[in-house]
Amino acid sequence: MYPPGLMGMRTRVLINLPATGAVQVSWDQGANATGYIVYRNGNWAGRVNDPAVLTFTNTNVPAGAHTWSVASIRPDNSKTAQTSCGGL
């Protein structure tokens, strides 16, 4: 069991538009995280297996309104709650 907040991510999750149809999501490093899971509209968009990599580019994003969130992966392979960044 992890103490509250030990594995939680900071609340800063940002989005950037590097190219048409792509959105780059970035976040602060989670304490003791072993990786991250990125979600678009509440659905899995991708996984980052390196805890030092704090960005993910979601490609082929269809036109329309979307939201992104990120969860830290813990050493026991469970995950934290998703931290939302809002959306476009």
The tens digit of pLDDT for each residue in 13-48 reads 566 666 678 888 888 888 899 999 999 999 999 999
Task: Compare 5 and 64 and report the one with higher pLDDT.
Answer: 64
Task: Compare 4 and 70 and report the one with higher pLDDT.
Answer: 70
pLDDT value at residue 63:
82
Task: Compare 10 and 84 and report the one with higher pLDDT.
Answer: 84
pLDDT value at residue 31:
86
How far apart CA 2 and CA 22 sit, in angstroms, is 35
**Residue 36 forms beta bridges with which residues?**
48, 72
CATH topology of domain 13-87: Immunoglobulin-like (2.60.40)
Q: Report yes or no: 16 and 23 within 8 Å, Cβ to Cβ.
A: yes
pLDDT digits (tens, 9 = 90+) for 47-88: 999 999 999 999 988 888 888 999 999 999 998 888 887 666
